Amino acid sequence: MNGFDWNAAGDVLPLVLRGFEVTLLATVLGTLVAAVLGLAVAVAGRAPSRFVTVPVRAVMEFIRSTPLLVQLVGAAAFFTSVEPLTIGIVVLGIHYAAYTSEVYRAGIDGVPKGQWEACRALSLSPRRTWQAVVLPQAVRKVLPALGNYAISMFKETPFLAVITVQEMVFEARRYGADHFAYTEAFTLAGLVFLVASYPTSLLMRKLEKRLGH
Amino acid sequence: MATEPLPLQKTAAAAPEDAAGTDALVRFDRVVKRYGDHVVLDELDFSVRRGEHVTLIGPSGSGKTTILRLLMTLEKVSGGVIWVDGAPLSHVRTPDGGLKPAGEKHLREARKKIGMVFQQFNLFPNMKVLQNITEAPISVLGMDRDEAESRARELLDLVGLAGKIDAHPSQLSGGQQQRVAIARALAMRPEILLLDEVTSALDPELVAGVLDLLSDIARTTDITMLCVTHEMNFARDVSEKVLMFDAGRVVEAGPPEKIFTAPEHERTRDFLDAVL
Ligand SMILES: Nc1ncnc2c1ncn2[C@@H]1O[C@H](COP(=O)(O)OP(=O)(O)OP(=O)(O)O)[C@@H](O)[C@H]1O
Ligand SMILES: [Mg+2]
């Protein structure tokens, strides 16, 4: 070890940035899956029938109580013919849906009873009640919390390297192994994470303030 | 709540209450409402004729809000039947001629005749004033957008808020919000309008405006109104009939002149002494 090799750092940067594109793609699509699926789960959790709510709750509890890493490796082992990135996105999305659904649930619970009653008094259909009244109010309130989950997901994407998704840490590790320059490779990868997630966190905090939390 | 199918009560259909007018639009027929062991309404009977304006008065906890909420089907009856326009409100007929509690679909249909204005307004904060009023006519009545919007404009004109069409509810005073809520209820062209202490959440200086608006509506439309209010002057001006409740029963009923000037019952006298 003779200090930080700036040449190696220069070499690894394009690789890390190429990996960053994959990381970003996985985060954006994974967040999308988590946002949509979480919402569906939260609404299903309010279904009048126990045949819907009980299994949904059980599955979510199972997902929350097993590690993401195990879920990733398990899914990759099971769906061998599916591309690793696709598996990564779907598993990240489902894993985080277990958390975002709770966030949505809190948002939905926070909509005052009077809003539901006004909907009933106007004979609104359940569909319009959700679509026009309850969800717009609930989602607005939980937007910052959802944003924070997106940032967490971003920071957990390195797990995808384990199932051979060529995201940022995968690239860094490969370069590090080939050139024996782990320090440089991982330092750069870490810096890219920092540069990307810190401003996003600040943005979320701003959003939180603007929405009056 | 699973209630036993009730036998059709043919005798009750010709109950003495109805002798006053066979044109009862709303009729409570031995309506019971319980929360757990707590009996709020105990075999309550009363009826309201079409076009009538009825004021419900009575001490706190006597069941006035419960009555309106049952009519709006926000609560389920524990027993008895509410009849609206000759049909059971929250029951459907069974093949063997009895009645059983209706499902949500039936209730949604039944509610269309009835509108409600709440003490806390309950406007939709995520919609502008205009959309608050047009949402139900468009999505429930299937009115086309242009028609719904021009109706909404007329109604806003009526409630004196033509200029607030693009405002958000949060930008309005309580009195203005309540006027929008009234416009929103009227947009559904209800036959029956339920008003539950609609001015009690308002600053004192805003009360008169809303009451004047309601008097106008009572005078110029044929909407049947059931108002719970502590505004005895309003009750006197607007209603033809006052029902005095106590402990879930009608203690005394009659025209306001009589109830307010010569109440027969001790309970009514005590209550009026306390509020007037
Ligand atoms: N959801 C509920 N659960 C249990 N008890 C209830 C519920 N809603 C109402 N009650 C009870 O029913 C009774 C009648 O209440 P209600 O609100 O109808 O009275 P009210 O005449 O409108 O009184 P106020 O003048 O204070 O508004 C009260 O004793 C109240 O505590
Ligand atoms: Mg009340």
Split at pLDDT 50, 70, 90, the class of A37 is very high
CATH number of the domain bearing residue A28:
1.10.3720.10
Q: Do the domain assignments include residue A109?
A: yes
Q: Do the domain assignments include residue A148?
A: yes
Q: Do the domain assignments include residue A26?
A: yes
- Of the residues B34, B66, B197, which should be mutated to test ligand 1's pocket, given the most ligand atoms within 8 Å of the CB? B66
Q: Do the domain assignments include residue A142?
A: yes
Global ipTM: 0.88
Separation of B33 CA from ligand 1 center, angstroms?
A: 11
- Give the best residue of B122, B145, B180, B197 to mutate against chain A (max A CB count within 10 A): B122
Q: For B74, which of A112, A120, A124 is closest by C-beta distance?
A: A120
Cα separation, B181 vs B199, whole angstroms: 12
Cα separation, B186 vs B225, whole angstroms: 12
Instruction: Select the CATH number that applies to the domain covering B50-73+111-275 from these four: 3.40.50.300, 1.25.40.10, 1.10.357.10, 3.20.20.370.
Output: 3.40.50.300
Cα separation, B44 vs B66, whole angstroms: 12
Ligand 1 residue neighbourhood (C-beta within 6 Å): B 35, 38, 40, 58, 60-66
pLDDT in tens, chain B (276 residues): 444 444 443 333 334 444 444 579 999 999 999 999 999 999 999 999 999 999 999 999 999 999 999 999 999 999 999 999 999 999 999 999 889 999 988 999 999 999 999 999 999 999 999 999 999 999 999 999 999 999 999 999 999 999 999 999 999 999 999 999 999 999 999 999 999 999 998 998 899 999 999 999 999 999 999 999 989 989 999 999 999 999 889 999 999 999 999 999 999 999 998 887
Please tell me the pTM assigned to this model.
0.86
Q: Do the domain assignments include residue A94?
A: yes
Q: Do the domain assignments include residue A1?
A: no
> pLDDT per residue over A187-196, tens digit each?
999 998 898 8
pLDDT value, residue B10: 36
> pLDDT per residue over B247-274, tens digit each?
889 999 999 999 999 999 999 999 998 8
Which residue's alpha carbon is at the smallest distance from atom 4 of ligand 1? B35
> pLDDT per residue over B125-154, tens digit each?
999 999 999 999 999 999 999 999 999 999
Residues A65, A73 contacting (CB under 8 angstroms): no
Distance of CA B39 to the CA centre of its chain: 21
Domain ranges in chain B?
A: 50-73+111-275
Task: Report how many domains make up chain A.
Answer: 1
Q: Do the domain assignments include residue A178?
A: yes
Q: Which two tokens stand for residue B214?
A: 């309601």
User: CA B97, B100, B103, B104 torsion: positive or negative?
Assistant: positive
Residue ranges of E strands in B160-209: 192-196
Ligand 1 atom with the smallest distance to the CA of B248 is 14
Nearest to A189 by CA among A166, A163, A171: A171
pLDDT value, residue A207: 83
Cα separation, B105 vs B112, whole angstroms: 12
C-beta atoms of A117 and B118 within 8 A: yes
Q: Do the domain assignments include residue A159?
A: yes
pLDDT value, residue B5: 46
Domain extent, residue A42, equals: 6-210
Which residue's alpha carbon is at the smallest distance from atom 3 of ligand 1? B35
C-beta atoms of B116 and A121 within 8 A: yes
